[in-house]
Every structure is written in structure tokens, then in C-alpha cells.
Amino acid sequence: MSRIHRLDSIVRDQIAAGEVVERPASVVKELVENSLDAGAHRIHIRLIEGGHSLIEVSDDGSGIDPDDLPLAMARHATSKISELSDLDSSPWLGFRGEALAAIAAVSQVRLSSRTALDTVGHELNVEGGVSGTTKLVAMAPGTTVRVTNLFYNTPARLKSQKSPGAETGWIQHLTEHLAVSRFDVGFLVEQMDKVLLKTAAQSDPLHTLYQLYGREVADSLLPVDQTGITGIRISGWIAPAHLHRGTRHAQSLYVNHRWVTNWVLRQAVEEAFRPQVPDRRFPLFWLWLDLPPVSVDPNVHPTKAEVRIDRERQVAALLYRAVQDVLTTKSPASGLSIEPDRARDETAAYSQANWSLEPRTQGTNSADSDSRILHQEFLDLTPLAQWQSKYIIAQGPFGLYLIDQHAAHERLYYERFKREKGSTTIAQPLLVPHVMALNTTEWQTFVQYRHVFQEAGFDVTDAGGATIMVHAVPQGFKDLPNDPEMVRTVLESIIQGHAQYGHPVTWIEEPLFAMAACKAAIKAYRPMSHLEMRTLLQDMASLDDPRGCPHGRPTLIRLSLEEVDRRFGRKG
């Protein structure tokens, strides 16, 4: 007796749907890509409960012919390719003809569409992969796909879904990437009639980046535009290294105008930033790679989120050099800078420095230190020079020292914040409220933990959409440069998982102090005067632990005279 049998077509479709439809965001991605392929200029996304109850995507694209509606819901039915070789030059985001069929297999779908040549639209209902009959419907030209009760007939998949809040955040995140890629299309995302994301069709992606990420980011972006001898073009924008974030949400890579996830390429970009970005922090970038179509295979992943690239390592190397060239040009590092303590207008230098090292003489202390001398060896150091505008070279009785100026000053601020933490929960009003655009994950985190900000000494209100307004910051941080951005620091701390440890105000302190210190400290590639170097070394003598920054990096390296003699082949 035969034990092998063919699966029912509905069961086959439900199993296959699991490869394409993983979560509500997967549905949104497939439907939006269909809208873009249809030439839409405006796309409206409506959600209920993060897409679990309702996902509705409407567009003003070319629409679907009434006779094609049933076929559009069938598996492997498409108007975009006819044979395998078409993939070598296909401009379409979707091409398999699986999306609508996969979605309909695990939900209830209502597909409504009207072409420009028709005077009325047509509507088709599909439930669990079973199609009904078409009927007439009044609508404007375009297509609307309404998906309800996602995974209602696949209990295991339904049980494994994330919360509505998490799913809403991911859909916003996804839409941000798509909106930047297709800046010529207007996007609107709503949930329960509340606008979560809105962009207008633009002629320049910079305008879309401004709408999504705010003025501070958009006004500081550095353009990237290089074409290699192989014809590969790399273009787009990167943010200066000091605007690093605690997550990778503000990173987009587009290969032939398709948003993709590629860890090799992403790592190449991050490696170019490595010397200037602290550990566990991530740069911001939006980069387009234009490659010969025959060198890109978009057919390696069911959701087309990943692509295979010929000579991927060579492409990554080109990407690394393109980003590094821009960073080097915009932030040139000086060489060995030996500057005597001569009479010049030091006061002007300090007023422009945005950091708290005051010129002082031996035996006095700056505002960042107290009267304790815990590490006498730092008072015995003599600064000789600044190397590459990043490191202080100093000599002392125990050898030669290399001091990381950012790490050392970061430690200085960190201990100051810890000493003054009693004032951190006292709100200090800002003269001018600060408007801040949040990314998807930051917005969802703010909504969930907004009470934490009030307890920690912030006054933050919802300004509509994914935008907030900062009215006051904790008094202990009132003198920091760009102090309202401390709100983002708190959000990043929550996102990174610190919230699971004790009361929020308690666990905020350590990461907030560390991140605030990083933002406040002098940065790499900032030239220092001889007097500033000496002051920083003297202040390190009063620190509880001057050996490392709050993120764990060392502040200094010591080379003993014996080690130097040995390397030069001397015996004394």
C-alpha cells in the first residue's frame, strides 16, 4: 500500500506561504513593492494592532485589468518575467508571482483595482487561498489590498508573532528604508487614524532624509559619489562619525535600487568608520550601489531581502574605500604636532572647544576634578606632542605614554556625572524647546517608557507622528553640547536591553552617564594646545580609575625605557 501522496493544494500553499510571509511586516513589504512596480506616486498603509488585525495598502498605480484579478491571486503568475534570462535585466522589485497567493493562503484578502481605462473598479475576495467571485466597486484608479486576520488558519505561526507594538515599529522601520529608496513616491503610514510616518514625493532623497531623520542629520550629511574602473558606482550619504547611534536602524544599503541586507557590505562601511566610532555604536549611512545586473542575483531569498553579488569581497573593498575617502577628506588628521606652551590667545581656543578643561597651574584643579590626588604619576607626566590629532605623547619617570584624548576626557566626564548624579533628576528647562525626529524603534520605545523620562528629569512631549519635543533636561547635563540629544541616549539604553535590570531610573544612570560622557568628551581629530594636553593629564590624577573609558577601552599605553631600548637593540 502506497504511503506517499500529493498534498492538497491549499496545504501546499499554506506551507509555501511560510517562506514569504513571516510576519505582518513581510505582508507590507510585498504589497508596497507591488505598488512601486505598478508605478505608484502615492502609497497609503493602514494598520490595526500592528497589522495582526488589518493591513491595507492603497496606491494610485496602473491597476490590474479585471480579467487578471483571479490570476493575480494565483501562485507563480506574473506579468514581469517570462523566462529565467529575464532576471538578468529585470527592473522589478517583485517577479516570482508568489506574494499575493502566499498572503491569501494565510489570511482573508480583499483585492480591489481599477485601471485608468476603466470607469469602475473590480473587487475579489479570497479567504484561506479560496477565491470568490469578482464584483464591481466604486474607486479611484489604482489598487487596494486589504488583509485581515493574518495567520488565522495557521495557529503555530500566529502564536509566535511579536507584540503589536513591536510589529508596528518594524513596519515603520521597513517603510523608512523604502521611502528613502523611492523618494519620488509619497508614503503615509497610519494606525487607528494616527499618522506614524509621512513623506511627500521629492526630487531629491535628501529631502526625504530630512523628513525622516530631522534637520541635524540631514544638514550634516556627507555626499558619497565614486565610480570605479569596473563601472561600479557607489553614491549616497554618510553622517559624520560623531552622530553615531546605539542601533543600526539608520543604515540603508541599496543594490540596483533594491533595499537589501548584506552583512559583508555593511561591515565594510562600519569598518571604514571604526577608528572614529566607539564600540557598540553604529554609524549612519544611506548608500546606493549600481552594479551590472548580470552580477546580481536577487533570487536567493524568498523575500528577496538578500542578494548574491559576484566578487562580493571586491565590491566590499570598493565600498570601504569610498566611505573612507569621504571621511578622510572631511576630517583630515594632522601629523605630529609639537606645540610649545607659548604666549598666545588660549582663551579663544577654550571658548571654541565645547569641553571643560580650564587652563590652570600645578596644584589647582579644574571644574571636572576635586582636590584629591589619587594617581601622582599623572602629575609627573610631561606632554611632548599630539599625534594624528588623536593621541597625546607624554614622557614620565616610568617611560613613554600614549594617551587617547577622547577616552581620557570621556572618563573625566563619566566620573563627574557619577559624582553629581543627585542633580540628574531635577529638570532644567531649555530656553528653546528642541524638536527631535525619532526613528521607528526609538518612537515605539518612547511610547512605552515615556514615564521614565519624567522620573529621570526630562520633560518630553509628543509633537505628532514620530516626533517629540524636549522642553527640559536633567540639571546635571544642562551644560553638555547638544544636551537635548540625551533623550536619544536614554532611548538607546532601553533598546539595548538595560530595562530588565531593576527600576528604570536606576539602570538609566550607568549607560546614560557613559553615553553622555562620550558625547561631551573631546573627539579624535581635534587638535589640542600644549596647555590643554597638560591640563587633561593633571585632571586624570584625581580620577578614581583613569585606566579605561566607561566603555572599557584603555585610556593610555605605556612603553618602558627598557622595552624601547630592546626594540632599538640597545643594552642600556
Domain with residue 392: its CATH number is 3.30.1540.20
* Mean pLDDT for the stretch of residues 461-474: 84
Q: Do 163 and 227 belong to one domain?
A: no
Q: Is the distance from CB of 145 to CB of 56 less than 8 angstroms?
A: yes
Q: Is residue 268 part of a domain?
A: yes
* Mean pLDDT for the stretch of residues 147-154: 88
* Mean pLDDT for the stretch of residues 539-562: 86
Average the pLDDT over each of 56-60, 208-212, 335-339, 540-544 and give the range with the smallest value.
335-339
Q: Is residue 553 part of a domain?
A: yes
Strands (E), 164-260: 186-191, 194-199, 222-227, 233-238, 251-255, 258-260
pLDDT tens readout for residues 239-260: 988 888 888 889 999 998 888 8
Angle between the N-to-C axes of helices 263-273 and 312-330, in degrees from 0 to 180, rounded to the nearest 10? 30
Q: Do 387 and 498 belong to one domain?
A: yes
222: nearest Cα among 93, 322, 304, 297: 322
Q: Is the distance from CB of 249 to CB of 439 less than 8 angstroms?
A: yes
439: pLDDT confidence band, cut at 50, 70 and 90?
confident
* Exposure string over 271-283, b if 16+ CB within 10 A, otherwise e: ebbeebbbeebbb
Q: Do 247 and 359 belong to one domain?
A: no
404: pLDDT confidence band, cut at 50, 70 and 90?
very high
pLDDT tens readout for residues 200-233: 998 888 999 998 988 888 888 999 999 876 778 9
User: What is the Cα–Cα distance from 15 to 6, expressed in whole angstroms?
Assistant: 13
Q: What is the pLDDT of residue 216?
A: 82
* Mean pLDDT for the stretch of residues 144-159: 87
User: What is the Cα–Cα distance from 515 to 280, expressed in whole angstroms?
Assistant: 11
372 or 359: which carries more pLDDT confidence? Answer: 372
Q: Given a cut of 70, is residue 90 above it in pLDDT? A: no
* Mean pLDDT for the stretch of residues 283-291: 93
Q: Do 460 and 537 belong to one domain?
A: yes
How many domains does the chain fold into?
Answer: 3
Q: Is residue 384 part of a domain?
A: yes
User: What is the Cα–Cα distance from 357 to 202, expressed in whole angstroms?
Assistant: 45
Q: Is residue 451 part of a domain?
A: yes
Q: What is the pLDDT of residue 15?
A: 52
Q: What is the pLDDT of residue 20?
A: 64
* Mean pLDDT for the stretch of residues 147-171: 86
503 or 169: which carries more pLDDT confidence? Answer: 169
Residue identified by cell 533594491 is: 258
Domain of 258, CATH number, reads 3.30.230.10
- Which residues partner with 188 through β-bridges? 44, 198
Q: Do 406 and 483 belong to one domain?
A: yes
Q: What is the β-pairing status of strands 251-255 and 285-290?
A: parallel
Average pLDDT of every residue of the chain = 79
Q: Is residue 208 part of a domain?
A: no
Q: Is the distance from CB of 401 to CB of 383 less than 8 angstroms?
A: no
DSSP letters spanning 536-559: HHHHHTT-S-TTB-TTS-BSEEEE
Q: Do 158 and 295 belong to one domain?
A: no
* Mean pLDDT for the stretch of residues 425-437: 79
The contacts of residue 108 (CB under 8 Å, 6+ apart) are 125, 126, 127, 128, 147, 148, 149, 152
Average the pLDDT over each of 55-59, 74-78, 130-134 and give the range with the smallest value.
74-78
Domain of 181, CATH number, reads 3.30.565.10
User: What is the Cα–Cα distance from 280 to 514, expressed in whole angstroms?
Assistant: 12
Residue 228, domain extent: 221-330
Q: Is residue 347 part of a domain?
A: no
Q: What is the pLDDT of residue 449?
A: 81
User: What is the Cα–Cα distance from 339 to 529, expressed in whole angstroms?
Assistant: 7
Q: Do 565 and 470 belong to one domain?
A: yes
Which of 167, 199, 231 marks a domain boundary? 199
Q: Is residue 166 part of a domain?
A: yes
Sign of CA dihedral 339, 340, 343, 349: positive
User: What is the Cα–Cα distance from 51 to 158, expressed in whole angstroms?
Assistant: 12
Q: Do 65 and 167 belong to one domain?
A: yes
The contacts of residue 569 (CB under 8 Å, 6+ apart) are none
Q: How many residues does the chain have?
A: 572
Q: Do 51 and 93 belong to one domain?
A: yes
Q: Is 20 left (phi over 0), alpha (psi -120 to 50) or beta?
A: alpha
560: pLDDT confidence band, cut at 50, 70 and 90?
confident
Q: What is the pLDDT of residue 346?
A: 36
In degrees, to the nearest 5, what angle opens at C-alpha 331 toward C-alphas 481 and 549? Answer: 55
Q: Do 104 and 248 belong to one domain?
A: no
Q: Do 226 and 191 belong to one domain?
A: no
Residue identified by cell 507590507 is: 28
Q: Given a cut of 90, is residue 68 above it in pLDDT? A: no
